[in-house]
Structure 1
């Protein structure tokens, strides 16, 4: 069962996938109905999930499920991964590269390789107040309250 993204309960579980490039307006227009259809049809052991999906900041694909209604099983999570892989193939984008971190700088999402973070901090290009899109956020409430969040309040705090 599809739930509009903005009507998710704060405890809804999230899976955030970061694109390796911005999605164009045309791509987003084509992807959004696919997301809604997937969320509508997404199920766990034959029982429909109370799910939603959204594209944020032209870069992030977010899948969500109200776990108190029906928990996502391993098989249903596998279905979601397969769906995201299909989107990758169809649109020539990568959603599974976890080696690049996303920051909001000058109103734009910028990606920084994990191996470059120390250099960027040392050069002052990233500091504890630089906004960071933590893809490890796992619930809707946290996404609404602190996403992006200052890098110094994330696991990146060890660099400052």
Structure 2
């Protein structure tokens, strides 16, 4: 069962997939109905999930499920991963490259290779206050309240 993204409960579980490039308007217009259809049909052991999906900042695909109603099973999570992989193939994009970190700088999403992070911190290009899109956020409330968040308030804190 589809739930509009802005009507999700705070504790709804989220999965965030970061694209390796921004999605253009035409791609977003094509993807959004696919997201809604996936969320509508997403189920766990034959029970429909109370799910939603959204594109954020032209780059992040967020899938969500109200776990209080029905928890996502391993099989349903596998279905979501397969759906994202299908989007990758259809749009020639990668949502599974975890070697790129996304920061909000001057209103734009900037990707930084993980291998360059330490040098960027030392050079002052990235500070503890630089806003970071932490894809490890696990619930809708946290996504709404603190995303992006200062890098120091994420797993990146060890670099400062």
User: TM-score of the superposition, structure 2-length normalised?
Assistant: 0.99
RMSD: 0.4
Aligned counterparts, 1:115-130, within 5 A: 115-130=115-130
Aligned counterparts, 1:91-110, within 5 A: 91-110=91-110
CA displacement at 1:20 relative to structure 2: 0.1
Counterpart Cα distance in 2 of 1:64 and 1:26: 23
Gaps of 5+ in 2: none
What residue in structure 2 maps to residue 44 of structure 1?
Answer: 44
Per-residue CA distance 1:90-135 (angstroms, 9 max, x = gap): 0000000011100000100011111100000011100000000000
SS of 1:111's equivalent in the other structure is strand
Per-residue CA distance 1:50-103 (angstroms, 9 max, x = gap): 000000000000000000100000000000000000000000000000111000
CA displacement at 1:35 relative to structure 2: 0.1
Per-residue CA distance 1:25-52 (angstroms, 9 max, x = gap): 0000000000000000000000000000
Counterpart Cα distance in 1 of 2:64 and 2:154: 22
SS of 2:62's equivalent in the other structure is strand
Counterpart Cα distance in 2 of 1:158 and 1:86: 35
Counterpart Cα distance in 1 of 2:54 and 2:109: 17
What residue in structure 1 maps to residue 7 of structure 2?
Answer: 7
Q: Is 1:141 aligned with 2:151? A: no
What residue in structure 1 maps to residue 157 of structure 2?
Answer: 157
SS of 2:109's equivalent in the other structure is strand
Give aligned pairs, total.
160
CA displacement at 1:11 relative to structure 2: 0.1
Moved over 3 A (4+): none
Counterpart Cα distance in 1 of 2:90 and 2:108: 25
SS of 1:37's equivalent in the other structure is helix
